[in-house]
Amino acid sequence: MTDGLNQEVQQAFAKLTRVPRPHLSERIRESIWGRAAPGTRLPPGSPAWVGPSLSPQPAGQRSARRRVLVAAALVIAVAAAALLVGPTGLGQRLSAVRAVFNSHLPAATTAARPPSTPAPPDLSPTVPASSEPTAAPAASTPPSPTPAPAPAPAPLPGYSCSAQSGGGGTQSTMTTARVGAQSGFDRFVVEFSNGVPQFEVRPQDSATFGQGTLRGSAGLVVTLKNLTSTGYAGQREFRPGFAVIQEARLLSDSGGAAEWGIGLSYASCFHAWILGGPARLVIDVQH
């Protein structure tokens, strides 16, 4: 190829693509640091092999050995404490520790995050939608002291099994919606013309909603408020039949409010995110 044409191809690629927005880097940092430590078990559905050939895993073996040593040290420490304090005293102390831990759970969770991770911003409805990836879980809903329903798997970092809300106060219009399947989670995305409006995502034990029954045995209700009266012209129903998301349907859209129903094959924890450019509400449902 001529040098001139080579340059033209380069210039064309420069026009067709663009630099990534800074928020992509932050989103990646958030996700990497939100994941389990190296050597821990991967969540189900994680890719076993994605890239080119992989070498043997001495690093994994080392971390496995380290885990065994840590576990053994913990067992010895607990046994020693039991011998020193006696079974009754140990039980009382453990109860006290548990009570303290439960009463400070949110603070402890935040403190456990690495220092490089940005603190989750306030997601009260009055805060305008940001272009940053914002972790919506439990911003306005205190953590429930009761355990999650039995069929739901343990939530991964960043996921929660209780209602999540957030969004901004500006009026916006839904432009498109889509679903997708990823490794370890299924994704439901709604795009907006002018920032993500106030939203709430509530789990429920069945796929029956006020306006009909969707596929699946559990569901999520996505309530959107402060929408413009233009109405939604995009696709209103999806039946992807993914591992978790079986169906998504726009249940209602009137009076500046809309409600999406998501039918799930089983109750599962989820993670609601706000992303910018275009403004999107992203709901990842854990496999």
**Between 28 and 154, whose beta carbon lies closer to another protein?**
28
Long-range contacts of 86-94 (CB under 8 A, 24+ apart): none
Q: Least CB distance from residue 45 to another protein, whole Å? A: 11
Cβ 179 vs Cβ 267: under 8 Å: no
Q: Least CB distance from residue 224 to another protein, whole Å? A: 19
Q: Least CB distance from residue 57 to another protein, whole Å? A: 3
How many other CB atoms sit within 10 Å of the CB of residue 56?
Answer: 7
**Between 267 and 282, whose beta carbon lies closer to another protein?**
282
Report the interface residues with another protein, using CB under 8 A: 1-3, 5-6, 8-13, 15-21, 24-25, 27-29, 31-33, 35, 38-39, 42, 46-47, 49-61, 116, 176, 178-183, 191, 235, 238, 240, 275, 277-278, 280
**Between 6 and 110, whose beta carbon lies closer to another protein?**
6
Please list, in sequence order, all residues whose beta carbon lies within 8 angstroms of the beta carbon of residue 134, skipping any fewer than 6 positions away.
Answer: 120, 121, 123, 166, 273, 274
Cβ 145 vs Cβ 159: under 8 Å: no
Q: Least CB distance from residue 237 to another protein, whole Å? A: 12
CA angle 241, 246, 252 (to 5 degrees): 130
Q: Least CB distance from residue 92 to another protein, whole Å? A: 39
In the block, tokens 């034990």 appear at 205
**Between 11 and 102, whose beta carbon lies closer to another protein?**
11
DSSP states of 216-264: SSEEEEEEE-SB-TT---S--EE----SSEEEEEEEEEETTEEEEEEEE
**Between 280 and 287, whose beta carbon lies closer to another protein?**
280
